[in-house]
A and B are shown apart, each in its own frame.
Chain A
Amino acid sequence: MPIIEVDRLQKRYGDTVAVADVSFSIEEGEIFGILGPNGAGKTTTVEAIAGLREPDAGLIRVMGLDPFARREELRRVLGIQLQESQQPDKLEVGEALDLYASFYQSSADPDALLAALGLAGKRRSRFAKLSGGQKQRLSIALALIGNPQIAVLDELTTGLDPQARRDTWALIEGIRERGVTIVLVTHFMEEAERLADRVALIDQGRVVAVDTPAALTVSASPQQVIRFRPSVPIPHGLLDRIPEITSVRSERDQVVVSGTGDVLGAVVSVLARKGIVANQLRVEQANLEDAFVALTNHHSKED
C-alpha cells in the first residue's frame, strides 16, 4: 500500500491554476522526485501533501489520512523543509535545533544531526552569521529533527556550492537507509537522477510522466551515440550490418555511431572480431534533462 497517494489534485489561487491535474503514488521508503520548471506546481503539490493547503479538488492520502483534515496527526510524522524559510537572526544553530526537538515526542540527536550535516562547529553560531549553504543545511536538520517517517524537501540544494550539494545528497541517501520516505522537489535534473528512485515530471500543473529516471531517459530518447577513434580504418560496410545501428558517420578521425538497445556491445564485439581497437570510446547517452525537454515539449504540443 502506498504511503502517499495523490489522485487528480487541483489547486488554484484566484484565477491562477497552480495545479491542474496531478496524480501519483509514493511507496514507503522511496525517494520520490518531483521535477519541473519554476511555476510548474511542484511546491503547491507538496504543500498539499504536507497539509498546509487544502485542495480544491482531488484526493490526497498520507499514511491513509487526509493530510489537511488530519494535519495535527500528520505533523508528528512528516518533516518539511520549506523553500525560503528562515530563523530569527540572533538565534543560535543549537538553540534552533533544541527548540524544534522539544516540539516532538521523540527527536533525533541534535549533535549527530549537526555532525552529519557538517554543522558540528556551528552550534553556537547565530543564524544571521551562517552562509547560504549553512542556512540551507540547518533547514534540512530542522526538517529531520522530529524523526519523521516522511520528509518533504523543497529545493533541497538550491544555493549550495557543488561540494555542499554532494555532501547533502550523501546525507539524504543515509536517511533513506533508515526507511524514511523522502519527497524531493527539485529543478536540478542531476539531483533527481542521483537520488530519486522514481520521478514525477510536472509541467504547467500536470504530471507529464512518472517513472524511474533511467526509464524516463530511455523512453524520451532511445538513441545512444557512440564515438571512438578506430586503431585502423574500419572496412566499408562492416558496421552497417549491425541491426542495432541506425546511422554511421565520420567526424575528422572519429567514427560516430547512433543506435538503440545494446548498440555498444554489438559494435565492440564486431570490432574485436576484426582486431580493431576503439580508442577514446565515449558513449553519449541522453540524460534526464534531455528527457525532460522532450517530454515537456511533447506535452505542450498536445495542449
Chain B
Amino acid sequence: MSFITQAVDARGASRQHRSNAWRRLLSTEAKLLLREPMLIFWAVAFPLILTIAMGLAGDRHDKQLGGLSLVDVYVPISMAMVITILALTAVPVVLAGYREKGVLRRMSTTPMRPAALLAADAAVNISTMVVAVVVIAIVARLTFGVHLPTQGFGFVLTLVLTAGAMLSLGALVASLAPTTRIAQGLGTLLFFPMMFFAGLWVPRQQMSSGLRHMSDFTPLGAATAAIQNTMHGHWPGAAHLAVLAVYTIVLSFAASRLFRWE
C-alpha cells in the first residue's frame, strides 16, 4: 500500500517535522501555563514577595537562627516553595485534567505520543522553576546581600533532585486522583505539611531537635538544608542528598507504575 512506502520515505523528513511538533507542543503548554494568573502569582510572585518581606523584616545576623539573617533562612524556603507549588498544584491538575477530558486519549490517535505532552508539561514547569529560583537568588543578592550559592554544582544537583522528587509526587497525585478536583485537593493538602518541614512557619534553625530530625527525612526539609549549605560554599550533606534521591526514585517509580492514560 502506498502509505507504507510514504512512511519509509518520510523517515528523513520526519526529524524536521518532529522538532516542529515538539516546538509547537512546548509553546502551547507554555501559553496554557501563562494563562493561569493565580498559579503564576503563588508559584512565582509570592515566594519572591516572601523573600523580600523577610529581607525587610531582618537582614541582620541572628543568634537564634544560627548566626544567619532571616532572609538568609528564607531564600532556600522560598526556592523550595516555587518548586513545590508548581509540582504539586500545576502538574497534578493539568495531568488529571488531560486524562479526564480525554486529551491524552485523543493524542494517542495521532502520530504524536501522549507521553510527549507529559514531557512538554514537565519541561514548561521546570523552566518556570528555573526562572523563579534565579530571580529569587538575584533579588536576594542585590537587595539584601544574601550569598549566592557558591557551591554551584551542589546547588544545581540539589534543585534537580528536589524538582525530581516533587514532580514525581505531583505525577503520583495525578495517578491516584480519580478527578481533577481531587487532584487539586490532594496537591494542596500535601503542600502544607511539606512546607511546614521546609520551615515556612518555623525555620529549621528554630525547630526542636526532634522536629528538625524529622524534617531531615522529608523531601523539603532535606532540600532546604542542602540549599542552605550550598549558599555558604559548602557541599550539601550526603544524607540530605540521599534522602532527596530516595524520594525521587521511589516516587517516580510509583508514578510511572500507577499512571493511567484513560
In the bound complex, residues from chain B placing their C-beta under 8 Å from that of A102 are: 17, 20-21, 23-25
Among B10, B31, B94, B111, point to the contact of A103 (Cβ < 8 A). Answer: B111
Q: Can you pick out 30 interface pairs between chain A and chain B where the beta carbons lie within 8 Å of each other?
A: A50-B109, A52-B108, A65-B1, A73-B4, A75-B109, A75-B110, A76-B3, A76-B6, A79-B109, A80-B109, A82-B102, A82-B109, A85-B102, A88-B97, A88-B101, A88-B103, A91-B28, A95-B28, A98-B24, A99-B24, A99-B25, A99-B28, A102-B17, A102-B25, A103-B21, A103-B111, A105-B6, A105-B14, A105-B17, A142-B106
User: How many Å from the CB of B51 to the closest CB on chain A?
Assistant: 29
B98 interface hit (Cβ, 8 Å) = yes
With contacts A85-B101, A85-B105, A91-B32 taken as known, whether A104 is within 8 angstroms of B111 at the C-beta atoms is yes
Name the interface size band of chain A. 20 to 34
| B111, A76: Cβ atoms closer than 8 Å | yes
The contact string, 1 if C-beta is below 8 Å from chain A, for chain B 44-62, is: 0000000000000000000
In the bound complex, residues from chain B placing their C-beta under 8 Å from that of A82 are: 102, 105-106, 109
> Which residues 1-44 of B sit at the A interface, judged by CB distance below 8 A?
1, 3-4, 6-7, 10, 13-14, 17, 20-21, 23-25, 28, 31-32, 35-36
The contact string, 1 if C-beta is below 8 Å from chain B, for chain A 63-104, is: 111000000110111111010111110110001001110111
> Which residues 83-132 of A sit at the B interface, judged by CB distance below 8 A?
84-88, 90-91, 95, 98-100, 102-105
User: How many Å from the CB of A107 to the closest CB on chain B?
Assistant: 10
Among B1, B10, B13, B109, point to the contact of A52 (Cβ < 8 A). Answer: B109
A146 interface hit (Cβ, 8 Å) = yes
User: How many Å from the CB of A159 to the closest CB on chain B?
Assistant: 15
Docked complex Cα distance between A286 and B15 (Å):
56
Among A64, A75, A90, A98, point to the contact of B35 (Cβ < 8 A). Answer: A90
Closest to A152 in B: B109
Closest to B106 in A: A85
| B106, A63: Cβ atoms closer than 8 Å | no
User: How many Å from the CB of B94 to the closest CB on chain A?
Assistant: 8
With contacts A52-B108, A85-B103, A87-B101 taken as known, whether A105 is within 8 angstroms of B10 at the C-beta atoms is yes
With contacts A73-B7, A88-B32 taken as known, whether A100 is within 8 angstroms of B110 at the C-beta atoms is yes
In the bound complex, residues from chain A placing their C-beta under 8 Å from that of B4 are: 65, 73
Docked complex Cα distance between A65 and B13 (Å):
23
B112 interface hit (Cβ, 8 Å) = yes
With contacts A76-B7, A88-B32, A88-B98 taken as known, whether A103 is within 8 angstroms of B112 at the C-beta atoms is yes
In the bound complex, residues from chain B placing their C-beta under 8 Å from that of A146 are: 110-111
User: How many Å from the CB of B32 to the closest CB on chain A?
Assistant: 6
| B105, A72: Cβ atoms closer than 8 Å | no
> Which residues 156-189 of B sit at the A interface, judged by CB distance below 8 A?
none
In the bound complex, residues from chain B placing their C-beta under 8 Å from that of A65 are: 1, 4
In the bound complex, residues from chain B placing their C-beta under 8 Å from that of A64 are: 1
Docked complex Cα distance between A102 and B28 (Å):
12
Docked complex Cα distance between A42 and B20 (Å):
36
In the bound complex, residues from chain A placing their C-beta under 8 Å from that of B24 are: 98-99, 102
The contact string, 1 if C-beta is below 8 Å from chain B, for chain A 211-234, is: 000000000000000000000000
In the bound complex, residues from chain B placing their C-beta under 8 Å from that of A72 are: 111
| B103, A87: Cβ atoms closer than 8 Å | yes
> Which residues 96-131 of B sit at the A interface, judged by CB distance below 8 A?
97-98, 101-103, 105-106, 108-112
Docked complex Cα distance between A73 and B4 (Å):
7
Closest to B13 in A: A105
Closest to A101 in B: B24
Closest to A149 in B: B3
Docked complex Cα distance between A87 and B97 (Å):
9
In the bound complex, residues from chain A placing their C-beta under 8 Å from that of B21 are: 102-103
